[in-house]
Amino acid sequence: MDSDTATEDRGTATDTETYTVTVRTGDTDVELDVQAGTILRDALRDAGYSPHNLVTDIVNCGGQGHCATCAVEIVEGDPPAEAVVDTLLSVAGLGRVSCTIPVDRDMVVRL
């Protein structure tokens, strides 16, 4: 078995695999096709949806996972929290830190 086959057998995302991230803003849902492994914050910003408000769009850690200003609510498809700040916000019911979440499944996100 070559290394490419072994990777596919483990269920690891391929370069062409995409997931649907549904962005919920108010009464509107917009579906984004996002390449597997893309950081959720980056996918949102690339599509014109900022997890930040007017102030935190300027004053934030730039996606380093330190400030928690990019928190979003994951309504469906919530992956396990791995970063400490993400775990703390999640446990407190304050959302998830989008810069710490690689897209590895379909999900619904509320901004």
Classify residue 86: in a domain, yes or no. yes
Give pTM, 2 decimals. 0.82
For residue 92, the domain's CATH number is: 3.10.20.30
From residue 68, give the alpha-carbon distance in Å to each of 58, 62, 91, 104: 14, 10, 14, 21
Q: Where do the DSSP E strands lie in the chain?
A: 18-25, 28-35, 71-76, 96-97, 107-110
Quote the percentage of the chain above a pLDDT of 90.
64
- Give me the pLDDT at residue 6, please: 38
- Confidence band for 3, pLDDT divided at 50, 70 and 90: very low
Give the chain's mean pLDDT.
87
CB–CB of 65/83 below 8 Å? Answer: yes
Distance between start and end Cα atoms, the chain: 44
Q: Is residue 1 part of a domain?
A: no
Residue 6 lies in a domain: no
